[in-house]
Structure 1
């Protein structure tokens, strides 16, 4: 995207202001612009993709335990496969599959049920034996494994390339991007959105779309909307280049511990969710986390425990109470739309969510009923809470 598409002095007015220039905000901007809605400003307090979208995990999959999340993942997976043509960018998609390693009969039964639902929705996942899993990923030990689940069409891509691809196409269609611009307030008049205030001036608008990730709770509060999102740090590390070259392996997850690893350039990427990680906006990478990963993985993939690492990253998950997304339009403030709270799954669902928010903005029915993902589900007496998904 050319530098002329970004600016520090915000326009005085727009039809819609998208808050957040990560993969969700840029996907929404692209889908709106493609549909002919181009009087849009995307406001981002740093560079595009500087939040969680910039962290190079990039898993894409349709393996979930409930139909709604399966459909969001599956539709997004098809969009990522088509990305070189629409919007037109190489995102380094590698369809190596996702491999879940299971260590109890209870896990195997739950995943087996999920596979049946996935298969009914044309996702080619399947339950495999521990020996088959080891053939796919020679790093793993089969000791203690009961079964595994593999879907060959899943994989991983580069989030920064996705953000750039969406933003470039949106800018070409007339969307404006205000980077290094923070939102300081939102004015409403009755049940209408009136103004978004930024540290570079106010923007009059009738619609605000909150795609601010871990910071969405603060944005919602500015408009009097409760978005129950809490920030939780997640860390990962990269190995030094490995010789002999790393075999091409699936995105492999030890379900019991949450430890995962996959190919990354000339080595491997390691990840793990620390169950004791407190909430907060701290994105400091720590060597203590790496030791935690090494201790956890020593049993399941012993060779990884002794690999030298070259670098590490820390980013933020935007976690909701039931680990499902918040997508919808505020009933009290109809000009306020939101797409947030993805609990680690925003990147893999971003193309589908961009379509959904486009349709919500235009008053059309989305391709799937997203009412179970309304932020209102956490209010006392709400009965439309979705089933928590597997991971």
Structure 2
């Protein structure tokens, strides 16, 4: 095909993701689409993918994306006439120990919460379904009947035909060599066969996506890793309908193929490929067989399926697959380029994700907004630290090695640490701090007492830090604690147009007098919550914006993309300021001891910002809280934070440093929402019980029209408390009302002051969720497949009047 000179959308890459995206662009949006493939369709990693299709993930939205893939693969051949090789064989996941079994009990609960069928079955049932398997070491297995397998190449060719049927143009044998840019915008795509003027570009280049992105100035943090599997000769007694099989405790997977088995695994010592560019001519490329490295999988597989010991090996596939530093794939628009979207880094989930990823990516590119909460896979979860290719490689290999390990709650990555530390790191470590990591920042999670080893010991029950965090929690409630929150993302917006710009972006009333601090949400056009943050007005044309550590790139990109072209400037000042959060009933006494300014309730009321001096440094002090106590966030010039910390600690009043796990338990008792779990782009402020933070007049903000058109609420945020101390809540537990599932928890933990497990989530009812509906039901929570009576809470279980906050 001759290369067109213009396209509304250019899709780069002819694997399953690119073809799915082109198909949905053409079919759903009638877009003028050109897909460019440097070799032949499927010639990247699609052609050698194993083709297992699982659907359940920890995110409801990502599970929905994968379920969409299955629905598409079932019906696509009716439209195109080309089969996809889809077989709904179901999937067995094996458990050989109690921690794994508990994980499956939690996953079964999650599946129920997300509307998926999943069963926990006995070893005898496993043996009946898979007679060739040795089940002697099994505790049991999970069974997902709607999972299955497909032919990656067949799906891709069927999607490509469907795309052509709806008007898309597909050009093979043409490589992208660069882009014509005007500022941060692509105007044309340069290729080996000419130039295409383009309005939008979607980078689905697989393991080449990083170098394609770099041509437009964006970073796509992925790492090619060598991944091996074998295909055996036919094995007697193997059913053609045998379920796909995952044996995570032995780190292997199996699927039936032409009477034999496909078997591979995820080893703890994976082999990376290049940290530089992938060769352009790696078309249908494979590495040499490496049976020495694969032996660890072969040994484990033969224990599970003894017939493998005598089966012939027809072929070994040793190919490269794109993996990412956190094991989640990459979708969305990077902030560095206004009109390039990315779909890449699928961590061997490309076939399972392909149909749904193409659907959401097409929607995202055509509307400018993700169609649902896709934060778990959004490219904006990364930051500048992910430009370090060696760091990305090291962390990606750790993530690969965890592919089949038990997913313990609160587990931390260990590679590439410490990456970013506050100046207080050594002081806090000397106090027994046990650190976690968020977007590269080392942050104290909890503090070990004298004689206690300062490290996490993971388990499925109460973990080793539970009592220590309880002590910290009580100390903040009764005395005063100091949190090092220097990792907060911080921006300054200045200029004559700043106030009007924020009035459009923020749902809250940020145009308050100088000196006021506003908590506000940023909404999408559907009224969903894209971010929540605080805005302090320092001057008529100067605003200070603070948000969560992990949302640094995301929130900056959202704000920047909605600012006018002139009249205001947004600057990231995260590293310019450290943050010390002084919280507790004695916070005022500590602060008064170290500053000469008047910090009384009259002189320094809640929800205000003032400059004060501590230890000779000028501090930006914001009186607010995320723990439900009297307190201040002290934003300190980073060079002075050590002196300010020392002065505060010397002030007495039983001040002690406390950690983020204490912060989490405190906020749960106060019912404070956490973005990305309790509140997401899927949820409106009214559904989340945050309507009080939305301005009623002047409806000129983004999302206002959607809120105005919304009918009666069919879901509402609520809290739940359990009396049984054995129930450990971590989120995604099913909420039952009068025995019927009505939702699931978005977050969960323990409230030490009230002595109960606490969870939050949305109660759903298609006929409406009124106060009477919420109050009249009998509630229970399904926790790891066991049902516990629960009490619904429609206000904070601790200090609902906020008397302590405003003391």
Per the TM superposition, whether the score is higher than 0.5 is yes
Task: Indicate yes or no: 2:382 matched with 1:382.
Answer: no
Which of residues 337, 344, 352 in structure 2 aligns to 1:348? 352
Provide the C-alpha distance between the structure 1 equivalents of 2:172 and 2:119, rounded to a whole number of angstroms. Answer: 44
- Cα offset, 1:367, TM superposition: 4.5
Task: Indicate yes or no: 2:171 matched with 1:171.
Answer: no
Q: Does the 8 Å CA contact 1:70/1:118 hold for their aligned counterparts?
A: no
Compute the RMSD of aligned alpha carbons: 2.2
Matches within 5 A, 1:287-326: 287-288=290-291, 289-326=293-330
Q: Does the 8 Å CA contact 2:240/2:258 hold for their aligned counterparts?
A: no
Q: Does the 8 Å CA contact 2:148/2:243 hold for their aligned counterparts?
A: yes
Provide the C-alpha distance between the structure 2 equivalents of 1:110 and 1:138, rounded to a whole number of angstroms. Answer: 25
Matches within 5 A, 1:154-303: 154-243=147-236, 246=239, 248-280=241-273, 283-288=286-291, 289-303=293-307
Q: Does the 8 Å CA contact 1:324/1:386 hold for their aligned counterparts?
A: no
User: What corresponds to 2:37 in structure 1?
Assistant: 44
> Residues 348 and 245 of structure 1: is their aligned pair in 2 closer, same or farther, counting only changes over 3 Å?
closer
Provide the C-alpha distance between the structure 2 equivalents of 1:253 and 1:340, rounded to a whole number of angstroms. Answer: 24
User: What corresponds to 2:116 in structure 1?
Assistant: 123
- Cα offset, 1:167, TM superposition: 0.6
Q: Does the 8 Å CA contact 1:328/1:371 hold for their aligned counterparts?
A: no
Provide the C-alpha distance between the structure 2 equivalents of 1:254 and 1:121, rounded to a whole number of angstroms. Answer: 23
Matches within 5 A, 1:128-143: 128-143=121-136
> Residues 257 and 69 of structure 1: is their aligned pair in 2 closer, same or farther, counting only changes over 3 Å?
farther
User: What corresponds to 2:695 in structure 1?
Assistant: none
Q: Does the 8 Å CA contact 2:240/2:259 hold for their aligned counterparts?
A: no
- Cα offset, 1:88, TM superposition: 4.4
User: What corresponds to 1:84 in structure 2?
Assistant: 77
- Cα offset, 1:87, TM superposition: 4.5
- Cα offset, 1:363, TM superposition: 0.8
Q: Does the 8 Å CA contact 1:192/1:335 hold for their aligned counterparts?
A: yes
User: What corresponds to 2:361 in structure 1?
Assistant: 357
> Residues 140 and 285 of structure 1: is their aligned pair in 2 closer, same or farther, counting only changes over 3 Å?
farther
User: What corresponds to 1:74 in structure 2?
Assistant: 67
Provide the C-alpha distance between the structure 1 equivalents of 2:120 and 2:221, rounded to a whole number of angstroms. Answer: 35
Provide the C-alpha distance between the structure 2 equivalents of 1:272 and 1:113, rounded to a whole number of angstroms. Answer: 23
> Residues 57 and 130 of structure 1: is their aligned pair in 2 closer, same or farther, counting only changes over 3 Å?
same
Q: Does the 8 Å CA contact 1:228/1:320 hold for their aligned counterparts?
A: yes
Comparing 119-128 and 360-369, the one that deviates more: 360-369
- Cα offset, 1:247, TM superposition: 5.2
* 1:114-153 residue CA offsets vs partner (Å, 9 max, x unmatched): 1111112221111111221121111221222222111111
Q: Does the 8 Å CA contact 1:234/1:274 hold for their aligned counterparts?
A: no
Provide the C-alpha distance between the structure 2 equivalents of 1:243 and 1:116, rounded to a whole number of angstroms. Answer: 37
Q: Does the 8 Å CA contact 1:196/1:203 hold for their aligned counterparts?
A: yes
- Cα offset, 1:245, TM superposition: 5.7
Three-state SS of the structure 2 residue aligned to 1:168 is: helix
Aligned length: 380
User: What corresponds to 2:682 in structure 1?
Assistant: none
Three-state SS of the structure 2 residue aligned to 1:253 is: strand
Question: TM-score, normalised on structure 2?
Answer: 0.45
Which of residues 23, 28, 38 in structure 2 aligns to 1:35? 28
Provide the C-alpha distance between the structure 2 equivalents of 1:386 and 1:102, rounded to a whole number of angstroms. Answer: 30
Provide the C-alpha distance between the structure 2 equivalents of 1:103 and 1:386, rounded to a whole number of angstroms. Answer: 33
User: What corresponds to 1:145 in structure 2?
Assistant: 138
Three-state SS of the structure 1 residue aligned to 2:24 is: helix
Task: Indicate yes or no: 2:375 matched with 1:371.
Answer: yes
Three-state SS of the structure 2 residue aligned to 1:382 is: helix
* 1:279-315 residue CA offsets vs partner (Å, 9 max, x unmatched): 1167314141553332121222222233101122233
Task: Indicate yes or no: 2:336 matched with 1:332.
Answer: yes
Task: Indicate yes or no: 2:98 matched with 1:105.
Answer: yes
**Higher Cα Rg: structure 1 or 2?**
2
Gaps of at least 5 residues in structure 2 are: 275-284, 384-438, 440-548, 555-674, 678-807
Provide the C-alpha distance between the structure 1 equivalents of 2:8 and 2:34, rounded to a whole number of angstroms. Answer: 8
User: What corresponds to 2:700 in structure 1?
Assistant: none
Question: TM-score, normalised on structure 1?
Answer: 0.91
Gaps of at least 5 residues in structure 1 are: 1-6
- Cα offset, 1:183, TM superposition: 1.6
